[in-house]
Amino acid sequence: MKKFINAPADVLAESLRGVQAAHPELRVDTANRVVLRGEPTREGKVALVSGGGSGHEPMHGGFVGTGMLDAACAGEVFTSPTPDQILAATRAADSGAGVLHIVKNYTGDVLNFEMAAELASGEGIRVESVVVADDVAVQDSTWTAGRRGVGTTVVLEKIVGAAAEEGADLDAVLALAQRVRGNGRSMGVALTSCTVPAAGKPTFDLPDDQMEVGVGIHGEPGRERRTLASAHEIARMMVEPILADADATGSAIVLLSGLGATPLIELYLLFGEIAPLLAEAGVDVRRSLVGDYITSLDMAGASLTVVRADDEMIRLWDAPVVTPGLRWGA
């Protein structure tokens, strides 16, 4: 295992120390492993809280800031945050206008966010939740009943974060989150496994001439293992299942995320193959992001997310955002 780490057990705590050093505008609650904005949530503003296992950076801590999340709970690598962590984040973020929990559909995440929401409700904090389950690759998976939650989460956090910043109330924020959730589909491909620091060896074996089509962001099996193909063919393997799953014609926001060890030159090349396929199918890519946004430690691979987006969603997408992972307009 070749990594910039010290003891595997300290990876999360030490990485958060680096986040705090690099981003003095954020506040890292090291005891609870929660990343917060530097300033408390403005009175009357709905707070957005997300989180999940670590190893997917910049998601979620890198999306805390003006126009996006108010707090993110970091679980250990590929491990759900605890209800205590989520409760601490929810308490810290709430300004009285309520909190939206943005949860990816993994069994532990869903259970722990539910438990935290109940505890917070018991304290008088109004909490609503949206569970993202956008990965079309498989119906159920290693840690999932139903589809896994992946890249649509990033797009949702941006769009809904902008609405909350503008003063939308909790009902409106929830309704918007559900619309974005319903409009997003994703599909990933791995060329290599990732290596969890505590395990010290690759999560799965993938021969030199094979790739995993439909891989999960923890290395969960996908649809099939295939012989390594050209970028041109891989683009089809990513686009077609998304288009087959739902009507994606019309205006869309598209995210092509590297999984952690894929260089940008390859991601752009792959996007150059994906863009014409989407155009042919009637998808109007109004906004796109190409880079590392939702990763899987040091996995070589990529995941494609297509979110149908009306003019209002595009407007909210374009609204100012100031976070370590996404920043524009301010």
- Annotated catalytic sites, by residue? 56, 218
Region from 102-110, 171-179, 214-222, 225-233 binding a copy of itself, contact rule CB under 8 A:
225-233
Supply angle C-alpha 29, 328, 129, rounded to 5: 50
Region from 114-122, 123-131, 261-269, 307-315 binding a copy of itself, contact rule CB under 8 A:
261-269
Give the nearer residue to a copy of itself in terms of CB position, either 7 or 247: 7
Region from 10-18, 105-113, 123-131, 240-248 binding a copy of itself, contact rule CB under 8 A:
10-18
> How distant is the alpha carbon of residue 264 from its chain centre?
19
Give the C-alpha separation, 330 to 328, whole Å.
6
- In the complex, minimum distance from the CB of residue 138 to a copy of itself, in angstroms, rounded to a whole number: 22
Among 115, 277, 281, 322, binds a copy of itself (CB under 8 A): 322
Phi, psi of 97 (to 5 degrees): -95, 0
For 243: left if phi > 0, alpha if psi spans -120 to 50, otherwise beta; the answer is alpha
Residues 72-131 within binding reach of a copy of itself (CB under 8 A):
77
Residue 133: closest CA among 144, 121, 123: 144
Give the nearer residue to a copy of itself in terms of CB position, either 14 or 166: 14
The tokens for 57 are 């950076």
- In the complex, minimum distance from the CB of residue 248 to a copy of itself, in angstroms, rounded to a whole number: 17
Supply angle C-alpha 1, 266, 228, rounded to 5: 70
Strand pairing report for 184-190 and 210-213: antiparallel
Estimate the crossing angle of helix 311-318 against helix 152-166, to 10 degrees.
80
Q: Per CB under 8 A, does 272 bind a copy of itself? A: yes
Give the nearer residue to a copy of itself in terms of CB position, either 105 or 192: 192
- In the complex, minimum distance from the CB of residue 19 to a copy of itself, in angstroms, rounded to a whole number: 5
**Edge-to-edge strands, sheet with 26-29:** 26-29, 34-37, 71-77, 47-54, 99-104, 127-132
**DSSP at 141:** B
- In the complex, minimum distance from the CB of residue 209 to a copy of itself, in angstroms, rounded to a whole number: 9
Total residues contacting a copy of itself (rule CB under 8 A)?
Answer: 61
Residues that bind a copy of itself (CB under 8 A): 2-6, 11, 14-22, 54-55, 57-58, 62, 77, 191-192, 208, 211, 228, 230-232, 234, 260-273, 275-276, 285, 288-290, 292, 295, 297-298, 300, 302, 322, 327-330
